[in-house]
Amino acid sequence: MKIIVIGASGTIGSAVVDLLSERHTVVRVARTAGDYHADLTNPDSIRSLYEKVAPFDAVVSCAGSARFKPLEALTDDDFTASLSNKLMGQVNLVRLGQRYIQDGGSFTLTSGVLANEPMHGSAAISLVNAGLEGFARAAALELLPRKIRVNVVSPPWVSETLVAMGKEASGGMPAAEVAKAYVESVENRSKDGEVLDARKFA
């Protein structure tokens, strides 16, 4: 398959590329690195990417950012940035991508465990993650006639990210293990409209 990986230069994205490249042709996309560049906050940038790369069989998004702050500190801008990047950026990957993807293809998006396991400071991220999961379930229903699947991978804290933050890696999951859930979403055609908890693939 020809698979577009968005966020290919990131911690999870790099691990996903490594696994998928063993059996598929991978197109690496990032904001400033990779084979192509794209900005999730800009629909025209996403559309341009698809026009250049089409046709393709799958899109995997390992990208998207949202603000982590106490509720009382979250501003209008924090919510706008979170919604326009991680939520609407990935929604637009599907909304715009459906016109270019092959029948029988798949979209795999990224949420996170904070959708169902919130913590202090996660209000904006929990909102975005939960919204993304709801969107994927509904979009999957509408794309059934073309057998196009839509799934979401929900990663926990990633070990490498915790180390970069100066915390203990043992509290997270290695990116190479998290990447297995993305491969499952792409390759297992029975997976559709599902949220895959990456911890179950360790």
97-111 pLDDT per residue, tens: 999 999 999 999 999
How many CB atoms sit inside 10 A of residue 36's CB?
17
Contact residues for 58 (Cβ-Cβ < 8 A; gap 6+): 1, 2, 3, 4, 101, 105, 106, 107, 108, 186
Residue 157's pLDDT band (boundaries 50, 70, 90)? confident
Between 33 and 132, name the one with better pLDDT: 132
Q: What is the pLDDT of residue 49?
A: 98
pLDDT digit string (tens) for 58-93?
A: 999 999 999 999 999 999 999 999 999 999 999 999
* Buried residues in 183-193 as b, exposed as e (16+ CB within 10 A): bbbbeeeebbb
Distance CA 181, CA 154 (A): 9
**153 beta partners:** 110, 196
Domains of the chain: 2-201 (3.40.50.720)
Rounding to the nearest 10 degrees, give the CA dihedral for residues 38, 40, 43, 48. 20
Q: What is the pLDDT of residue 33?
A: 85
For 147, the 3-state DSSP assignment is: coil
